[in-house]
Amino acid sequence: MDPRQKLPDATHPITITPTGKRVVVEFRGVVIADTAEALTLQESTYPAVQYLPLGAVDPAFLHPSDHHTYCPYKGEADYFHLGRDGEEKDAVWIYRTPHDAVAAIKDHVAFYPDRVSYTIE
């Protein structure tokens, strides 16, 4: 185990559940993702985050970034620029090899909510 890694517990709980509804993501008025397979990740007191299967996102809008971050609870996140030309920098992230406690989010992406519009129906 990576010495930086932390496990979710009562002081920092993380739950991952199927959203159970259709999730549509729009970027500047264009639908870029539409899925009924989203997951809701609730971490501690932070706002819930929708994780969508990578395959549900139009790949024309995702451009790999050199940016990476590390979360001790989830692992290393890789980022994408968003838009036809990647104009919205580092707006999407993915945990390609998440820690075991959050393995369900592998191959799922999340969007900064101030960069896209979500509809959950």
Mean of pLDDT values over 24-53: 98
Residue 4 — pLDDT band, cuts 50, 70, 90?
confident
Tokens 């985050």 belong to residue = 49
Mean of pLDDT values over 65-77: 98
Main-chain phi, psi angles of 104, to 5 degrees: -60, -25
CA-only gyration radius of the chain, Å = 14
Q: How far apart are CA 105 and CA 47, in angstroms?
A: 16
Residue spans of the domains in the chain: they are 14-120
14-120 CATH pick, 2.40.160.50, 2.60.40.10, 2.70.70.10, 2.170.150.40? 2.170.150.40
Q: Lay out the sheet containing 23-27: strands in order across.
A: 30-35, 23-27, 117-120
